[in-house]
Structure 1
Amino acid sequence: MWFSKSIQQTLEELHADTGKGLNDNEAAARLQQYGHNKLTARKRRSVFSLFIAQLKDTLIYVLFGAVVITMAMGEYIDGTIILLVIIINAVLGVIQEVKAGNAIDALKDLSAPKALVKRNGTVSEIASEMIVPGDILVLEAGRFVAADVRLLESANLQIEESALTGESVPSEKDANADLQDGNIPLGDQVNMAFMSTVVTYGRGLGVVVETGMKTEVGKIADIINQEKEEKTPLEKRLDELGKTLGKIAIGVCVVMFGLAWFQGRDLAENFLTAVSLAVASIPEGLAAIVAVVLSIGVTRMARKKAIIKKLPAVETLGSVTVVCSDKTGTLTQNKMTVVRFFDLTDQEVELKEKENAPSDAALLLSKAMILCSDATFENGEGTGDPTEIALLRLGDQLGIDRNKLATETKRKDELPFDSDRKLMSTIQEENGKLTVYTKGAIDNLLDRCTMVQHNGEAIPITTGHIEQFKKATKNMSANALRTLAAAYKSLDGLIDHEEMEKDLVLIGMVGMMDPPRPEVKDSIRQAKQAGITTVMITGDHKDTAFAIAKDLGIADNKKQAITGSELKRNPDGDRQLTSYRVFARVSPEHKVKIVRAFKSEGQIVSMTGDGVNDAPSLNTADIGVAMGVTGTDVARNAAHMILADDNFATIIAAIEQGRNIYNNIKKSVIFLLASNVGEVIAMVVAILIGMPAPLMATQLLWINLLTDTLPAIALGMDPGDPDVMKQSPRSPNESFFAHGAAQRIIIGGIAIGLLTIGAFWFGYYEHGYSPYDKQVPDNIHEYARTMAFMTIICSQLFYSFTFRHSVKSVFQTGIFSNKYLVGAVALALVLQLLVMGLPVLQKAFRLQMLDLQGWIYALGLGIIPVVLSEILKLFKRMNKRSTP
């Protein structure tokens, strides 16, 4: 039991070194010995079980019954074809599920948490699954604990362990606690930290003692296996739609069979036809196609640095109307650089690239910033907050030896940064003396300072001094500089935390520049064009925030900016919040208030966040967006989407992709419904008017196989509309059949059905017969059915091109711009020719090769739905242009 062992015993047993950590060779050897640090993943269903699952459907059972009846009647070819179609459909369903599963697994890998580890003498961030026993783990607020660790150091460390203990209150940790009782429960093991728990406050250092399934959380439950795969709201709606259509189709087919019986037709043949029509008319491939399109879409988004954690987020993305974004790192480059500093001795000084003779005040200011930091910066790479990294680089620029400073000082106590205090303090021991160093927001620090550093000595601070600092702050902020101040005081001995940040000596402050990302301005302009409002939320000074917001085009009037303190005094409550575009000096609880204010107006809100305290606002937002680079594990876990590059432009790109994914799903579904309606109309109308059935059971199933897979999936992979961001956001309550979709289903279905009947009639007419003649040779029946068969397939395949856009012509979208659709249609036509041309298949499907006139008619009739669609689109474009 690791908690009962001393720190020294633990380190010796694990052969661990707190100073350097493991080297790469030792880490690799231990990884080989202990395995990857991850919980056993849920076993993927076998291909066989997936195949069997495809067959568990009422309509498939009916088809199996039809196979038995057909075989019993001696129609072995028809029975074999129906069986083959069932198997092929099932195989295609398995392929789609496997592809969707692989895409989701890849996304889980992309969003896996990282851990800070000391290896080869430096601290670096690595994937948590690469952690091994003996690794020295750095624990920071906001990070998940990557493995079970025995704590070596703890500074005000608190860890939320409710996943293990059920206690909602964070546990206070003490690395030096001596626990000898071997029966101490997990919640009382204060010198341990456990995998999957969350550091909520303070910092710590620990040695990894257990990984993977040997951790406490591994013994209790496999967290990943507990996650239930739920269908998205869209998939649920389509499921319901499929069931409704199924009931309607079965009702129609029962009526059709009744008519056939009443008309004295061959009951056995019409039974098979009715069953096949029921199967063909129900878009049972809807759910699979939606899953494939979603998985393909989110994989594309991941390549563009937007990792979707929860699939419903894809649907919601297309409806976003407000994007609330952090400034630092999202709108800006997150490359803070100190460009100016201010103190009473030197006043305001521009920091040049090389400062040959920095003043004592500048050195003291920089020293205070370095000693009051948890960041690291070595060999051009840093870990931790970008602001703190910039302060370390300032020390290097001024010639301060940080390694020497680290050996000459020792941190004895600290008060970590707090979003309410906006300060961080440490107590350092140097040459036997104790000193408090505090850094933070100048407004908060001024209230705690009674002295100020001037000409190398501390003097009482006056109103004039305070005004000088405030004037310098305003000047820096007006130039879009972020300000940060530092103070100190000498101690006679350790004091409690309440006294730590009182009666300080103000040293000075620095101004840092984090320039906007060059691509953000265009993204904000694009968002505005798409009906999306961009709101900046930052902890920076109001003037700094507004200066950047104005430059980016977020705000054009300073009245559109408000601070957190002004929010508290807002007499109108939440009513006026939505009129602001810049929220400065805000705390995390303000973020929740801002989100709720926008949502109360019916807006769909996206909110970015990176800290522990951002989790509530990420949960409250319709789309919570976490930073993948600088964000904490807690924020990433609470979010719906993770930005792998922390870039605002990626959010807008993701919204664009989300809109296109939804539109692609809609294209596939509407195409399927139009095609199926056409098949139903062709069969029912022909029988109602006393004609023979234009299509046989096996032919219906073949049509369904071709059109419900290749073109439908290809439409789901459409490159998307380049003008999609010129449209207003879609309402989340918008009907799936809005914007003329229902009209396209009805008009297209009727056209396809009637054209099929017309081609069927022409097949008789071409040979001098009528479908109503009683004495018609079998070969003429086969020819007429071949005409209907070829016409309905051509109609559906050609018609698929018109679904790429509801208003634009196929020539505007580009006939060949969707290579998947072109390939799908070409492949479907080749397969159709094989069925018609190969003697074995020709006999099996009871078809004939068409003559030249038949081919001309079949292809010509197949183009008519496209022409009708183009005429309707032309009227839509004309109406759109004439509408003011």
Structure 2
Amino acid sequence: MWFTKSIDEVVADLDTNPAQGLSEEEALARLQKYGPNKLKGKKKKSILQMFLAQLQDWLIYVLFVAVVITMVMGEYVDSIIILAVIILNAILGVAQEVKAGNAIEALQKMAAPRALVRRSGTVKEVDAETIVPGDILILDAGRYIAADARLVESANLQVEESALTGESVPSTKDAAQIHTSETPLGDRDNSVFMSTLVTYGRGEGLVVGTGMHTEVGNIASIIGGEEESKTPLEIRLDHLGKTLGKLAIGICVLIFVVALLQGRDLTEMFLISVSLAVASIPEGLAAIVAIVLSIGVTGMSKRNAIIRRLPAVETLGSVNIICSDKTGTLTQNKMKVVKYFTLKEEATIEHGTTNTGTDEAILLAKAFILCSDATYDKQTESGTGDPTEIALLMLGDDLGLDRDELLSGNRRLNEFAFDSDRKRMSTLVEEEGNYTVYTKGAIDNLLNISTHVIEGGQIVELTPAHKQAYAEATERMSAQALRTLGVAYKPVSTVVSTEEMEQDLILLGLVGMIDPPRAEVKPSVEMAHQAGITTVMITGDHKHTAFAIARELGIAESIDQAITGQEVDELTEEAFEQRVNNFRVFARVSPEHKVRIVRALREQGNIVSMTGDGVNDAPSLQAADIGVAMGITGTDVAKGASDMILTDDNFATIVSAIEQGRNIYSNIRKAVIFLLTCNLGEVVAMFITLLIGWQAPLVATQLLWINLVTDSLPAVALGMDPGDPDVMKEKPRTPNESFFAGGAGIRAIGGGILIGALTIFAFWYGYYEHGFTPFDEAVPVETLENARTMAFLTLVACQLNYSLAMRHPSKSIFQVGLFSNKYLIGAIVLGLLLQHLIISIPFMQEAFSLRMLDLEGWVTVVILGLVPLLINELVKVYLRSRKRVSEV
């Protein structure tokens, strides 16, 4: 039991060195020995289980009944074809489920937790699965703990362990404690456990258990994962499908009753009615939505946006406000100190060369280094920790300080970790028996707790003139878009408490840092503006600093569009909600302000996207319609509360994700409208012809074939349509907008009626070219089969060609690119080839009651099949001309 042993005993047992950690070779060897650090998940469904699940649908049960009845009646060919359709549909469903599952697994892998470890003397971030016993875990606030560990160092460390103990109050940890074997889990103050959360302070832990050999691994309820749930989009489509299905079944029952009254063959009419019911119900909607979503979010992940919750894809298309952090999202997240100020001088720092610094400047840099948790390697130009702290370490390098020597000669005894309320951090350091407190934070904050300053190399009492000098220096730097940070210190005679550390300090000076805007952000802000999306900057920086960056990026034009957190506090909720849409910059805000801003924006009817990276950002991420976490700098808590994770922490990726989200929704809508149009065409053709007393233009097997080939393949291909480059020129979609908005409903009804009418005409023409009409009673079988072949081929041709017109509601097929969707072209070509096969092969001809057409028949089918596409293109010409007139 590790918690009963001293640190030295645990280190010896695990054969590791806390100062160096494991080597990469040793870590790899232990990974092979102990296995990956992960819990066993749910057992995946087998292919057979997925196949059987595809058959558990009431529509399939109807078809099985049809199979049994046709076999009893001796219609074995029909039975085989219906059964083949059932099996083929199930196989396609399994294939889609496997593909969607693989995509989700890939996303889960990309979004897997990360952990900070020390290996070969270097702190680095690694996948949590690669953690092994003996690793040294670096623990900081906001990070989930990746494995069970015995603490070897702790500084005001607090861990929230409710997942294990049920105790909601964070537990205070102390590495020096040694417990007895009877100590309960919740009282083991020298240990931390997998899946718990660091809420405060910092520490280092020696990993003693991974994967299923952890405390959380013993809890069966933890293993299993989340229940799968349908997205609002899928629920809406499900409801739509069932409504249309009931309507279709009602029509089919009516057809059967009419046929009964007309004295038709009941066996044939039963099969036709059942087949038409199945063909009329868009049961493929849910599967198509699932595959389009999975392909879409996989594509988004490749462009640095990981979607954690599928409903976010639908919501993205409605976003009209993007609330973005400044640092790292709008800027490069590469802070550099470019100026420093002491009462002796204000100097500019030149990077890459050693700058000559005064004694005050050297002490300033030393204080910043000893009051930091960051690391930075000059050789690799890489580091860990907050970019601001890394910039302060680089300041020491620029002033010629040897950081390694400095850190080895100073031992940290205590610290008062940074929090958003105090806006400062303090450390207590021992150097050759002397104790010193170093505190860094916002300069106005430090002025409130400082009583002295260094002036002319002497410690003197802080006066209003000194405060004025610091205020003016801060103002000068802020006007240059520099972020300011002050530092103070005080010698103490003994170890002091955290509260005593931040009293009666001696102010040393301040530095000005800049984080340049990302080059790609300004065009993205402009693109968002064209798309009806307002960009809002939310930052902890000073008002003038924030506004300077916002103006450069095109986010704000006037300082009146900027407001501070303090000014927000002075407004009532009602007044703030009324004015919130006027602001583009929120400066000096706390996480609590973020929540208030999001709620106020939503109260005004906005759909809000919010970025965040810290523990305290979780409430605002959850309050927003789309919570966006930073993948690089974001804490595990922020990622867990988000709907989307940016793997590059880049604002441009948010705009790109909105663009992709709009296109994904648009593609789903195309597929839905196309399916409904095709189904309506089949119903119109069957219902009208049977109502006026004609023979059925299509038999059961033909209807099932059309449902399988013509509907499904182009619908999936439409769902994979390349993005519309002009989608960001449109305004955001209303969240409750119907699929049939913007004329889509009229297009579906008009297209369905047109396809149905052309099918009826083709059926009539099949009689006419043989010298008969559908009203004639004594008609040769060859003539009826010729008419049905004409109707069958025409219906298929109309639907396949019509899919090209569905790619855009107003752009022509040449404007969107005739061959730009290779999947759709492939689906059309495959559909036509399959049509040719079943009409050319004698056995297939017989099975589907078809016959080879003559030249006149083929020409008629080709011409009729192009009519829906041509009419749609003419309508688009009219729509474009009307739009041009309205814009003049």
Normalised by the shorter chain, which TM-score bucket?
over 0.9
Q: Aligned equivalents of 2:116 and 2:456: distance in 1?
A: 41
Q: Aligned equivalents of 1:566 and 1:601: distance in 2?
A: 20
The answer to whether 1:682 aligns with 2:681 is no
Q: Residue in 2 aligned with 1:47? A: 47
1:178 deviates by 2.2
Q: Residue in 2 aligned with 1:755? A: 758
Q: Aligned equivalents of 1:781 and 1:69: distance in 2?
A: 25
1:12 deviates by 1.4
Q: Residue in 2 aligned with 1:64? A: 64
Q: Residue in 2 aligned with 1:26? A: 26
Q: Aligned equivalents of 1:598 and 1:680: distance in 2?
A: 47
One-letter code of the match for 1:525? Answer: E
1:577 deviates by 2.6
C-alpha contact (below 8 Å) 1:39/1:218 kept by paired residues? yes
1:868 deviates by 2.3
Equivalent residue runs for 1:457-856 within 5 Å: 457-570=458-571, 572-856=575-859
Q: Aligned equivalents of 1:534 and 1:357: distance in 2?
A: 42
One-letter code of the match for 2:65? Answer: G
Deviates more, 1:503-512 or 1:290-299: 503-512
Q: Residue in 1 aligned with 2:399? A: 398
Q: Residue in 2 aligned with 1:103? A: 103
Deviations 1:165-207 (A, max 9, x none): 2222211111112211x23222211111111111111001000
SS in 2 for 1:78: helix
C-alpha contact (below 8 Å) 2:354/2:397 kept by paired residues? no
What is the RMSD of the two structures over their aligned residues, measured on CA atoms? 1.2
Q: Aligned equivalents of 2:814 and 2:737: distance in 1?
A: 28
Deviations 1:541-599 (A, max 9, x none): 11110000000011010011111112112253443233111111111000000000100
Residue-pair matches, total: 883
Q: Aligned equivalents of 1:25 and 1:264: distance in 2?
A: 84
Q: Aligned equivalents of 2:15 and 2:103: distance in 1?
A: 40
SS in 1 for 2:742: coil
Q: Aligned equivalents of 1:837 and 1:416: distance in 2?
A: 79
SS in 2 for 1:476: helix
SS in 1 for 2:66: helix
One-letter code of the match for 2:581? Answer: T
C-alpha contact (below 8 Å) 1:338/1:351 kept by paired residues? no
Equivalent residue runs for 1:402-417 within 5 Å: 402-417=403-418
Q: Aligned equivalents of 1:733 and 1:537: distance in 2?
A: 28
SS in 1 for 2:415: strand
Q: Aligned equivalents of 2:55 and 2:234: distance in 1?
A: 20
SS in 2 for 1:225: coil
Q: Aligned equivalents of 2:616 and 2:416: distance in 1?
A: 17
Q: Aligned equivalents of 2:168 and 2:730: distance in 1?
A: 45
C-alpha contact (below 8 Å) 2:350/2:398 kept by paired residues? no
1:613 deviates by 0.5
1:350 deviates by 4.5
Equivalent residue runs for 1:138-157 within 5 Å: 138-157=138-157
Deviations 1:124-178 (A, max 9, x none): 1000000001101000001000001111111011111111122222111111122
Q: Aligned equivalents of 1:663 and 1:113: distance in 2?
A: 32
Deviates more, 1:735-744 or 1:289-298: 735-744
1:824 deviates by 0.9
One-letter code of the match for 1:703? Answer: I
1:348 deviates by 4.0
One-letter code of the match for 1:113? Answer: P
Q: Aligned equivalents of 1:479 and 1:50: distance in 2?
A: 62
Compute the TM-score of the two structures, normalised by the length of structure 1.
Answer: 0.99
1:879 deviates by 3.2
C-alpha contact (below 8 Å) 2:141/2:199 kept by paired residues? yes
C-alpha contact (below 8 Å) 1:40/1:222 kept by paired residues? no
Q: Residue in 2 aligned with 1:197? A: 196
C-alpha contact (below 8 Å) 1:782/1:846 kept by paired residues? yes
Q: Aligned equivalents of 2:149 and 2:578: distance in 1?
A: 49
Q: Residue in 2 aligned with 1:7? A: 7
C-alpha contact (below 8 Å) 1:273/1:697 kept by paired residues? yes
SS in 1 for 2:717: helix
1:519 deviates by 0.4
SS in 2 for 1:740: helix
One-letter code of the match for 1:293? Answer: V
Q: Residue in 2 aligned with 1:318? A: 317
Deviations 1:78-118 (A, max 9, x none): 11111111110110011011111111111111111100001
One-letter code of the match for 1:328? Answer: T
Q: Aligned equivalents of 2:374 and 2:416: distance in 1?
A: 15
Compute the TM-score of the two structures, normalised by the length of structure 2.
Answer: 0.98
SS in 2 for 1:883: helix
One-letter code of the match for 2:627? Answer: G
SS in 2 for 1:323: strand
Structure 1 residues 799 and 32: alpha-carbon distance in aligned structure 2, compared to 1, 3 A threshold: same
C-alpha contact (below 8 Å) 2:211/2:217 kept by paired residues? yes
Q: Aligned equivalents of 1:883 and 1:171: distance in 2?
A: 66
Q: Aligned equivalents of 2:397 and 2:842: distance in 1?
A: 83
1:222 deviates by 5.6
One-letter code of the match for 2:624? Answer: A
Q: Aligned equivalents of 2:388 and 2:257: distance in 1?
A: 78
The answer to whether 1:244 aligns with 2:239 is no
1:390 deviates by 1.0
SS in 2 for 1:176: coil
C-alpha contact (below 8 Å) 1:672/1:707 kept by paired residues? no
SS in 2 for 1:670: helix
The answer to whether 1:337 aligns with 2:340 is no
C-alpha contact (below 8 Å) 1:785/1:847 kept by paired residues? yes
Structure 1 residues 686 and 12: alpha-carbon distance in aligned structure 2, compared to 1, 3 A threshold: same
Q: Residue in 2 aligned with 1:357? A: 356
One-letter code of the match for 1:239? Answer: D
1:301 deviates by 0.3
Q: Aligned equivalents of 1:348 and 1:389: distance in 2?
A: 20
Q: Aligned equivalents of 1:258 and 1:570: distance in 2?
A: 70
SS in 2 for 1:510: strand
SS in 2 for 1:452: strand
Q: Residue in 2 aligned with 1:158? A: 158
Q: Residue in 1 aligned with 2:170? A: 170
Q: Residue in 2 aligned with 1:429? A: 430
One-letter code of the match for 1:436? Answer: V
| Structure 1 unaligned regions, length at least 5 | none
Q: Residue in 2 aligned with 1:254? A: 253
Q: Aligned equivalents of 2:169 and 2:538: distance in 1?
A: 29
C-alpha contact (below 8 Å) 1:137/1:206 kept by paired residues? yes
One-letter code of the match for 1:617? Answer: S
1:224 deviates by 5.9
Q: Aligned equivalents of 1:632 and 1:224: distance in 2?
A: 23
C-alpha contact (below 8 Å) 2:576/2:600 kept by paired residues? no
C-alpha contact (below 8 Å) 1:348/1:472 kept by paired residues? no
SS in 1 for 2:741: coil
Q: Aligned equivalents of 1:417 and 1:323: distance in 2?
A: 28
Q: Aligned equivalents of 2:110 and 2:397: distance in 1?
A: 35
Structure 1 residues 224 and 580: alpha-carbon distance in aligned structure 2, compared to 1, 3 A threshold: farther
Q: Residue in 1 aligned with 2:371? A: 372
1:708 deviates by 2.6
Q: Aligned equivalents of 2:777 and 2:765: distance in 1?
A: 17
SS in 2 for 1:335: coil
Q: Residue in 1 aligned with 2:126? A: 126
1:71 deviates by 1.6
Identity, in percent, stands at 63
C-alpha contact (below 8 Å) 2:337/2:349 kept by paired residues? no
Q: Aligned equivalents of 2:3 and 2:339: distance in 1?
A: 49
1:871 deviates by 2.8
The answer to whether 1:185 aligns with 2:188 is no
1:830 deviates by 0.8
